[in-house]
């Protein structure tokens, strides 16, 4: 499998999404903005933000400061729970555009399936898409039962489902479901929010680190893209930002992919959508 930092996946509407980008949860202030600018310099071409992260303005500042043209950076934002419902979502979207200083988004997601609200929220996303204000729409934290409900009421199918996904939370059923329905799976917290990276002392990881001459973080990220997913690791540290991008010069063998699959322990670093 050959991937590069510029590789993309084609979504159901033929729009291309980079397979690799920067997560921005907790990236705030000047240091956060510098981290985003650093990532753009290293070659990241997807930036994942959300109203909840309270950092759309610094993402916008970083976009203004970069030499990379707007149409070469894929920008995602998400509608937060308190903004859900039809008209509130339309307002929240406009606020996000203004905070980011852009006139369209590449991807807009429902952040969480808020009971009683998310269907109206979806219809607002459909309207934004039809009006050409966003190039693709999708959901986040939707498990199979939510997706089944959504597919029943949607006139436009979701192009992406962003869920927590890493070797310690290997949601194979959702991955297969999304692949069958033509929905791109975007893995959030691909580094377990940092929790399991300290497990590099584990003899299992050590063996792989030695064999591939890569860090535990790099092995986890590579596993994810070899499964066909988009990944959005977050870091504020320039050396981690660079390290996380150096995953395109090795391939994990089929046996080692299965070995990493076996790390699954249903470990959620974030809330569990099925709970
Ligand atoms: N849709 C949702 O509900 C949802 C939920 C959670 C996250 N997300 C998105 O997914 C993105 C990624 O998830 P996340 O931020 O929770 O966690 P993550 O990317 O899995 O992990 C980030 C943590 O790992 C550390 N780290 C990064 N690279 C490292 C490396 N090479 N070696 C050692 N440590 C490293 C970071 O520390 P340093 O910063 O010090 O490097 C930070 O503590 C978020 O930023 C956000 O955009 C979405």
DSSP state at residue 246: -
Ligand 1 centre from 193 Cα, in Å? 5
At residue 82, the 3 state secondary structure works out as helix
Nearest Cα residue to atom 27 of ligand 1: 235
**Among 53, 194, 236, residue to substitute to test ligand 1 (most atoms within 8 Å of Cβ):** 194
Give the percent of the chain with pLDDT over 90. Answer: 94
Check residue 22 and report its DSSP letter: E
Ligand 1 test: best mutation among 49, 51, 223, 234, most atoms within 8 Å of CB?
Answer: 234
Residue minimizing CA distance to atom 38 of ligand 1: 235
Give yes or no for residue 197 having a pLDDT over 90. Answer: no
pLDDT at 203 over 80: no
Q: Which CATH class is domain 8-261?
A: alpha beta
pLDDT value of position 202: 64
242 C-alpha to ligand 1 centroid (Å) = 14
pLDDT at 198 over 90: no
Distance CA 177, CA 161 (A): 11
Alpha helix stretches (DSSP H) within the chain: 29-42, 56-65, 86-100, 118-130, 144-153, 172-181, 203-212, 216-226, 238-245, 254-261
Domain locations along the chain: 8-261
71-115: pLDDT as tens digits? 999 999 999 999 999 999 999 999 999 999 999 999 999 999 999
The answer, yes or no, to whether residue 189 has pLDDT greater than 90, is yes
Query: Who lines ligand 1 at CB under 6 A?
Result: 23-25, 48, 111, 140-141, 162, 188-194, 197, 215, 217, 232-237, 240, 243-244, 270
Per-residue pLDDT reduced to its tens digit, 206-259: 899 999 999 999 999 999 999 999 999 999 999 999 999 999 999 999 999 999
Q: What is the DSSP track for 163-206?
A: EE-BTTB--HHHHHHHHHHT-EEEEESTTGGGTTGGGGGSHHHH
Q: Is the pLDDT of residue 37 over 80?
A: yes
Strand partners, 134: 105
Q: Over 90: is that where the pLDDT of 61 sits? A: yes
Type and span of the H or E element at 48:
strand 46-48
- Determine the pLDDT at residue 205: 85
pLDDT higher than threshold 90 for residue 165: yes
Q: Which helix (H) or strand (E) holds 74?
A: strand 74-79
Q: Looking at residues 26-44, what average pLDDT do you find? A: 98
Find the mean pLDDT for residues 172-181. 98
- Distance of CA 115 from the midpoint of ligand 1 (Å): 27
| Predicted local distance difference test score (pLDDT) of residue 274 | 86
Place of tokens 């030695």: 210
Residues annotated catalytic, as ranges: 53
What is the spatial distance between Cα 174 and Cα 165, in angstroms, rounded to a whole number?
A: 10
Of ligand 1's atoms, which has the minimum distance to the CA of residue 162?
1
Taking CA atoms, 35 is separated from 42, 74, 236, in Å, by 10, 17, 5
Would you state the structure tokens that stand for residue 31, as one six-digit string?
């240091």
Average pLDDT, the chain: 96
CA of 49 to the centre of ligand 1 (A): 12
Give pLDDT, residue 199: 57
């Amino acid at each position: 499998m050959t991937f590069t930092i510029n590789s993309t996946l084609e979504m159901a509407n033929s729009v291309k999404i980079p397979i690799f980008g920067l997560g921005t949860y907790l990236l705030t202030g000047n240091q956060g903005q510098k981290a985003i600018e650093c990532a753009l310099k290293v070659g990241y071409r997807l930036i994942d933000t959300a109203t909840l992260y309270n950092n759309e303005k610094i993402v916008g500042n970083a976009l203004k400061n970069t030499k990379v043209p707007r149409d070469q950076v894929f920008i995602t934002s998400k509608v937060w729970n308190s903004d859900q419902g039809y008209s509130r979502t339309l307002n929240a979207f406009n606020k996000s555009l203004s905070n980011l200083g852009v006139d369209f988004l590449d991807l807009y997601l429902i952040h969480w399936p808020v009971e009683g609200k998310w269907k109206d929220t979806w219809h607002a996303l459909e309207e934004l898409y039809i009006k050409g204000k966003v190039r693709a729409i999708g959901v986040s934290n939707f498990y199979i039962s939510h997706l089944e409900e959504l597919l029943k009421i949607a006139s436009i199918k979701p192009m992406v489902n962003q869920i927590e996904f890493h070797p310690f939370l290997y949601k194979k059923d959702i991955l297969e479901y999304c692949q069958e329905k033509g929905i791109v799976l975007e893995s959030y917290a691909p580094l377990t929010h940092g929790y399991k990276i300290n497990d590099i002392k584990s003899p299992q990881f050590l063996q792989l680190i030695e064999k591939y001459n890569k860090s535990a973080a790099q092995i986890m990220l590579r596993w994810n893209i070899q499964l066909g997913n988009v990944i959005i690791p977050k870091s504020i540290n320039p050396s981690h930002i660079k390290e996380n991008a150096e995953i395109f010069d090795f391939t994990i063998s089929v046996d080692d992919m299965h070995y990493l699959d076996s790390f699954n322990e249903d470990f959620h670093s974030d809330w569990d959508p099925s709970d």
